[in-house]
Amino acid sequence: MKKNTMIIALIISVVMLSACADKNISEDSSSDSAVSSDNSSANSTETAEQFSEPSNADTSDAGLPTAEPSTETGPYGISATGLDGIEVAEEELSDIYAENSGAGYELVYAVGNGFTYLAEPTGICLNSRDNADIFNADELTFEGAPQNAPSEYKRYDIGDTICGLTLTDASTNFYYGGVDNCRAELEGSVTMTGYVTIAPEDEYGIDEGDVFFVPCPGSDLLPVVNFRYEGVGLVNPLYVAMSGDGFARMNEYSGDITLGNIHRTDLDLSGVPADYSYSVKATVTVDRVNLSCNGFSCYTVCNMTDFELI
């Protein structure tokens, strides 16, 4: 009986040891599985990050042609030449139109904003009243006066000063590399002496009541832009302009300077006849000077702030 009891106890111990062994194996297996799963997840994340990073490898094909820069937005490699003979780089130009000539681009049209070309007056300012001794009425010439004024143009940027005036707005148009048009607005005050008249009626480009002024010798105090291209190069042409009663004048402003209109001023100009006679002399003070020239005609327009008959 005692022997049988020991045998039964031994069998139970063996069964229990076997069960414990199976449990440990199962837990170890679960633990290994969990570690394997964590490692797999980490490996997957690292791989995804590797694929999400941009590749630094050179994927270009040396055999493919290089894209040409756009002719609409890319640089043309062109320049323009100012009235001073100095080239203006493409970076200073806008509204560029250029033609592909095969060997490169040729500038056809462009605008330079914020700068223009002006000249100091040379002092050539004559009229048939103050200079009657050298005026030839038959040939309409002033003895000894040149055909062209030897003006030297310089580039002026907004903020620069000339003749005591400050440039406040400016632009220059270029055509086939050369200057086609200059425009300038200047602020400041200038007082001049000369002859005044008023337009009696509307004409082409002239309104009834427009006031015109011809400076006396020594009173040509405004900047000049009056260029023209001729066979000898760039010149400021001088010619004799005549009024209806025979008053002649020669200066770098193409004869007349416009001082506004009697209907748009509070100044008393009642003593000035409206007949183009330039029969009265006055001292005028002006500001807001506007200059322009397109190579064929030039305009000098001012705002008159003071007026006094002499």
- pLDDT single digits (tens) 174-184: 999 999 999 99
| 188: pLDDT strictly greater than 90 | yes
Position 274 in a domain: yes
Q: Say if residue 80 is exposed, middle or buried (CB neighbours under 10 Å; 0-12, 13-18, 19+).
A: buried
Dist CA 53 CA 110 (whole Å) = 46
Position 277 in a domain: yes
Expressed as residue numbers, the domain containing 228 is: 123-152+189-309
| 67: pLDDT strictly greater than 90 | no
- Among 72-76, 101-105, 125-129, 274-278, the least confident range: 72-76
8 Å CB contact between 272 and 197: yes
Position 211 in a domain: yes
Position 165 in a domain: no
Position 219 in a domain: yes
* Helix/strand/coil percent split, the chain, to 5: 20, 40, 40
- Into how many domains does the chain fold? 1
- pLDDT single digits (tens) 2-18: 333 333 333 334 333 34
Give Cα 90 distance to the centre of its chain. 11
Dist CA 129 CA 140 (whole Å) = 13
Position 80 in a domain: no
Position 222 in a domain: yes
Residue 191's nearest CA partner among 102, 101, 280, 289 is 289
| 205: pLDDT strictly greater than 90 | no
> Higher pLDDT residue, 5 or 110?
110
Position 184 in a domain: no
CA dihedral 241, 247, 253, 257 (to 10 degrees): -130
